[in-house]
Amino acid sequence: MTQPAVHPVDPAFAARARITREDYRRDYEESVRDPERFWARIGQRLDWMTPPTVIKDTSFELADFHIRWYADGELNASVNCLDRHLATRGDKTALLFEHDDPTLPAESISYRELHVRVCRLGNALRALGVRKGDRVTIYLPMIPDAVVAMLACARIGAVHSVVFGGFAPQSIADRVADCGSKLIITADEGLRGGKRIALKANVDAALKLPGTNSVETVLVVRHTGAAVDMQMPRDRWFDAVVDSQADACEPERMNAEDPLFILYTSGSTGKPKGVLHTTGGYLVYASYTHECVFDLREDDVYWCTADVGWVTGHSYIVYGPLANGATALVFEGVPNFPDASRFWQVVDRHKVTVFYTAPTAIRALMREGEEPVQATSRASLRLLGTVGEPINPEAWRWYFEVVGESRCPIVDTWWQTETGGILISPLPGATHLKPGSATTPFFGVQPALVDANGHTLQGEAEGNLVLTDSWPGQMRTVYGDHGRFIDTYFRTYPGRYFTGDGARRDADGDWWITGRVDDVINVSGHRIGTAEVESALVSHPKVAEAAVVGFPHDIKGQGIYAYVTLVAGETASDDLRKELVAHVRQEIGPIATPDHLQWAPGLPKTRSGKIMRRILRKIAENAPEQLGDTSTLADPSVVGSLVSERRNA
């Protein structure tokens, strides 16, 4: 049976939903007509030390560029995530922790307990000399201490920079050096799918690299209990420093526009950018989107499978859910360990009601068939979500029918590290669903389509996705490089924020995100800049030149395809291929592992020396018939040899 392309709003779901179709229409209209009034009202959801009187103060015009929200308000994010819940939700579970090893008992941490743990670490950080505005790098596995570390920084006004545990020493060092971190919080080891990750050893290696002298202290959480090198006085055991601290910690008064965190993300050029988010607007936006998109109820058990190393973990494991007083599950493991049933076993064990994951995980599990899903009940589930990349309709249908038994709406949420929170998504009680479409803009969000010349496209159209006005969760700058912020996002289409994504608006006005239109590859929902992989490759002494493109991949969405030209006199071999792949893993981390590495005696270049990636993408896709015009190349013959090598590969 073919599925209908449109799933109308489920009346039973809508009857209990926070936001109905009428609410959405009315409030969206107000949110764009009178954003001051709308966001003033929504801002009241937080506890302010000084309530804001100025709400929206923004301009995308280059001559008068500024983004400020709630600019005269004062608040503390950790107080909003913890203290204010103590009177009514002190004994409510804030975090449920599920270990990588399913035989270990799960842990439940109440709001009261989490408050104490955050206060103790806040005091410890202060005792170690960390002050408001100082940067702290967090390199931890998915354990409750990662959440504690973020909130402890927020409590004392330190700016956290979480680095994903899968990054290699060079990537840690780059991120530490860029923001001048004073302290690193890490663990002896991480554990994922039964495999150990040498976190402390990676930090040790990173701190031997140039530019990392700012680090005075490394706090080490005992997690697996593995023996690690401790270099006194730099390295301190977390428990030895933290356990003796007082249970109360005076929260820092933060201006709404004071930085809350930096999170590094890949762009189309150069090294990853430090995306900076501030306190007030971010927290209003993360918490409000979390409440509306996930139709939050007091008794929900909410599980987002992301890692806190990505923005999804920041907004939808930590800040959104905890500001809302929700119960959030923290999962250390992976979807297929010990077997492909794990997600659903965890759902049953904790009676998860709202489940939020990435299309790549759905596709990987789909490949294992229905049996591992059907071996579980999943009766507690009422809402499903996806994030990170476009979801293909087949995977959407499998998620809807097999996982959710056609009972749970799916919210396909489009957003970015830069946007702080969800911008385009269905609201499950208000919006019809279309497999593959993110459907409608959230309150206050004004998407538009432009062509390559910046002309706005009307009606049914496909083009580059821009946003014509600011929203409270928007990033404020690239840390240490405001010029790069303006150049990257506001110069391509003046007066508008350019997302880097392409999109289509259909005849109903629904939005379909088609993927990146810049040189960013989306591998399993993780952004990798082609420039980063290229620079890792050319840092190998045998490589003269490299060009990297994305190609369609069944499970990962996109894979990494590298073309490598060797230094004269070097010979290509399978051993060298392996060595180069290992070199990229070593330089960036396993997430940047090239899926294919093709030897390229020459690369297709224009006469001005620019690599024609369009052509390389078509060769990688194995679609040479779509190469288009190659006559403008400096040496058109290189194309033929690349195509024939691809065919024989």
18 known ligand binder = no
409 known ligand binder = no
Single out the segment in contact with ligand 6R9 by CB under 6 A; choices: 7-15, 214-222, 236-244, 493-501: 493-501
Q: How far apart are CA 241 and CA 251, in angstroms?
A: 19
412 known ligand binder = yes
As to burial, measured by CB atoms within 10 angstroms (0-12 exposed, 13-18 middle, 19+ buried), residue 648 is exposed
Smallest separation, CB 436 to ligand 6R9 (Å): 9
Q: Which two tokens stand for residue 272?
A: 């990853």
Single out the segment in contact with ligand 6R9 by CB under 6 A; choices: 21-29, 80-88, 189-197, 407-415: 407-415
Which of 416, 456, 586, 630 contacts ligand 6R9 by CB under 6 A? 416
Single out the segment in contact with ligand 6R9 by CB under 6 A; choices: 30-38, 145-153, 328-336, 381-389: 381-389
Single out the segment in contact with ligand 6R9 by CB under 6 A; choices: 200-208, 252-260, 306-314, 583-591: 306-314
Closest CA to 296 of 356, 357, 377, 350: 356
Which CB sits closer to ligand 6R9, 55 or 365? 365
**Residue 83 CB contacts under 8 Å (≥ 6 apart), including other chains:** 47, 115, 251
Smallest separation, CB 32 to ligand 6R9 (Å): 22
Should residue 474 be labelled a site residue for ligand 6R9 when binding is judged by CB under 6 A?
A: no
Q: Which two tokens stand for residue 352?
A: 């998860």
Should residue 282 be labelled a site residue for ligand 6R9 when binding is judged by CB under 6 A?
A: no
In the block, residue with structure tokens 């926070």: 18
Single out the segment in contact with ligand 6R9 by CB under 6 A; choices: 56-64, 98-106, 230-238, 406-414: 406-414
Query: Binding marks (x or -) toward ligand 6R9, 135..164, rule CB under 6 A?
Result: ------------------------------
Which CB sits closer to ligand 6R9, 378 or 527? 527
Angle between helical axes of 35-43 and 21-33 (0-180°, round to 10): 120
Strand stretches in 212-312, DSSP E: 217-221, 235-237, 254-255, 259-265, 273-278, 301-304
Should residue 389 be labelled a site residue for ligand 6R9 when binding is judged by CB under 6 A?
A: yes
Single out the segment in contact with ligand 6R9 by CB under 6 A; choices: 13-21, 111-119, 394-402, 495-503: 495-503
Single out the segment in contact with ligand 6R9 by CB under 6 A; choices: 33-41, 243-251, 307-315, 621-629: 307-315
Single out the segment in contact with ligand 6R9 by CB under 6 A; choices: 139-147, 309-317, 323-331, 632-640: 309-317
Smallest separation, CB 606 to ligand 6R9 (Å): 27
Which CB sits closer to ligand 6R9, 74 or 307? 307
DSSP string, 563-613: EEEEPTT----HHHHHHHHHHHHHHT-GGG--SEEEE-SS--BBTT--B-H
Q: Which residues of 348-386 are buried (b: 16+ CB within 10 A; e: fewer)?
A: bebebbbbbbbbbbbbbbbeeeeebbeebebeebbbbbb
Q: Pairing relation of β-strands 235-237 and 190-192?
A: unpaired
Neighbours of 287 (CB within 10 A): 27
Asked if 42 contacts 30 with a C-beta cutoff of 8 angstroms, the reply is: no
Should residue 438 be labelled a site residue for ligand 6R9 when binding is judged by CB under 6 A?
A: yes
Smallest separation, CB 525 to ligand 6R9 (Å): 6
Which CB sits closer to ligand 6R9, 73 or 525? 525
509 known ligand binder = no
DSSP string, 115-136: HHHHHHHHHHHHHTT--TT-EE
Single out the segment in contact with ligand 6R9 by CB under 6 A; choices: 97-105, 289-297, 412-420, 427-435: 412-420
Should residue 501 be labelled a site residue for ligand 6R9 when binding is judged by CB under 6 A?
A: yes
Smallest separation, CB 613 to ligand 6R9 (Å): 17
Should residue 414 be labelled a site residue for ligand 6R9 when binding is judged by CB under 6 A?
A: yes
Binders in 504-533 for ligand 6R9, by CB under 6 A: 513, 515-516, 522, 525, 527
Which CB sits closer to ligand 6R9, 520 or 597? 520
Q: How far apart are CA 279 and CA 302, in angstroms?
A: 23
Which CB sits closer to ligand 6R9, 157 or 390? 390
DSSP string, 64-111: G-EEEESTT-EE-HHHHHTGGGHHHHTTSEEEEEE-SSTTSPPEEEEH
265 known ligand binder = no
Smallest separation, CB 87 to ligand 6R9 (Å): 33
Identify the helix (H) or strand (E) that includes residue 443.
Answer: none
- Helices (H) then strands (E): counts for the chain: 22, 31
Q: How far apart are CA 534 and CA 320, in angstroms?
A: 36
Q: How far apart are CA 113 and CA 103, in angstroms?
A: 24
Should residue 426 be labelled a site residue for ligand 6R9 when binding is judged by CB under 6 A?
A: no
Which CB sits closer to ligand 6R9, 121 or 311? 311
Which CB sits closer to ligand 6R9, 142 or 633? 142
Which CB sits closer to ligand 6R9, 31 or 312? 312
Neighbours of 37 (CB within 10 A): 13
The strands making up 354-357's β-sheet, listed across from edge to edge, are 107-110, 93-98, 327-331, 301-304, 354-357, 383-387, 410-413
The CA radius of gyration of the chain, in Å to the nearest whole number, is: 24
Q: How far apart are CA 265 and CA 416, in angstroms?
A: 10
DSSP 3: P
Local structure of 499: helix, strand or coil: strand
Phi, psi at 38, each rounded to 5°: -60, -50
Smallest separation, CB 163 to ligand 6R9 (Å): 14
Q: How many residues bind ligand 6R9 (CB under 6 A)?
A: 24
Q: How far apart are CA 33 and CA 27, in angstroms?
A: 10
Q: How far apart are CA 622 and CA 577, in angstroms?
A: 20
Which of 257, 258, 295, 412 contacts ligand 6R9 by CB under 6 A? 412
Should residue 60 be labelled a site residue for ligand 6R9 when binding is judged by CB under 6 A?
A: no
Which of 110, 265, 360, 446 contacts ligand 6R9 by CB under 6 A? 265
Which CB sits closer to ligand 6R9, 98 or 501? 501
Which of 28, 415, 471, 489 contacts ligand 6R9 by CB under 6 A? 415
Should residue 312 be labelled a site residue for ligand 6R9 when binding is judged by CB under 6 A?
A: yes
In sequence order, the β-bridge partners of residue 263 are 275
Q: How far apart are CA 374 and CA 230, in angstroms?
A: 47
192 known ligand binder = yes
388 known ligand binder = yes
Q: Residues within the annotated binding site for CoA?
A: 192-195, 312, 336, 524, 585
> What are the residues binding ligand 6R9 (CB under 6 A)?
265, 310-312, 387-390, 412-417, 438, 499-501, 513, 515-516, 522, 525, 527
Binding residues for ATP: 388-390, 412-417, 501, 516, 527
Per the annotation, binding residues are 192-195, 312, 336, 388-390, 412-417, 501, 516, 524, 527, 538, 540, 543, 585
